[in-house]
Amino acid sequence: MAITLRALRLLPRTLFIAAFLVLLVATNVRLAFYSLELYEWEFARQGVPRTTGLTLEQLSDAGRQIRDYFNSAAEPLDVRITVDGRSVSLFTEREVLHMADVKQLVYWVYRLQEGSLLFLFLWVTLGFFVQGSDFIPRTRRLLLEASVLAMVIVGAAGFAAMVAFQPIFLLFHQLSFANNLWMLDPATSFLLRMFPQQFWVESTVLIGASTIAEALAMALLLTTIGWWRQRQIRAAQRKTPQFT
């Protein structure tokens, strides 16, 4: 019984920390999927013009269409570029169907981000309503703990991804998709040539590094606020007349 009560007391705190971590990661994933600049940067870094035979301008146009597809209700994906004055479709039916699955996954990442933000907003609003100003130091301590844990968890996950990205990437696909449409032939798939594995390695590292940097900035800010607050309290105590 005591263990159950302790678990129930820890549940709100655990949910807060989990929501904070999900918010950071999902926000950075959302920004990455929406960033045409990231697409263009990786196309250039990975030598995609050489492997696809397309110019950077054509690849940028294709990347823009893919980005817009992920952020709209339009179906199906039909990426077309102009080659020698003709409009050419880039992807096969299998690739288009796989991208529909990816879009569904992206949709749920977006909903997770929005849901975690709503949860944190309601937490803070209800906390202030119930506890008033006493809720401020508690929230500060909880945010600091969540920031430190986010750095540890994302750092550990990032290290694992760098050491064993291939099996983790494979496991991710096996768990995320209910079909084998993601199993494309590297020799013939234009989608794989546009987005080689190293594209995903570096994008994952970027998302992880951004998350750690944001959590670190939050931890430093909260630590500074706590130090400043304690300094104010000590200064006020020194100014208070002492009676004997």
Asked whether the beta carbons of 66 and 79 are under 8 A apart, the reply is yes
Tens digit of each residue's pLDDT (9 = 90 or more) over 64-82: 999 999 999 999 999 999 8
Kindly list the domain boundaries of the chain, sorted by start residue: 2-239
φ, ψ for residue 191, nearest 5 deg: -60, -40
**3-class secondary structure, 151:** helix
pLDDT number for residue 2? 56
Tens digit of each residue's pLDDT (9 = 90 or more) over 102-143: 999 999 999 999 999 999 999 989 888 887 777 888 889 999
Average pLDDT over all residues of the chain:
91
- What's this model's pTM, rounded to 2 decimal places? 0.91
Q: What is the chain's percent helix, strand, coil content, to nearest 5?
A: 80, 5, 15
What is d(CA 188, CA 91) in angstroms, rounded to the nearest whole number?
A: 10
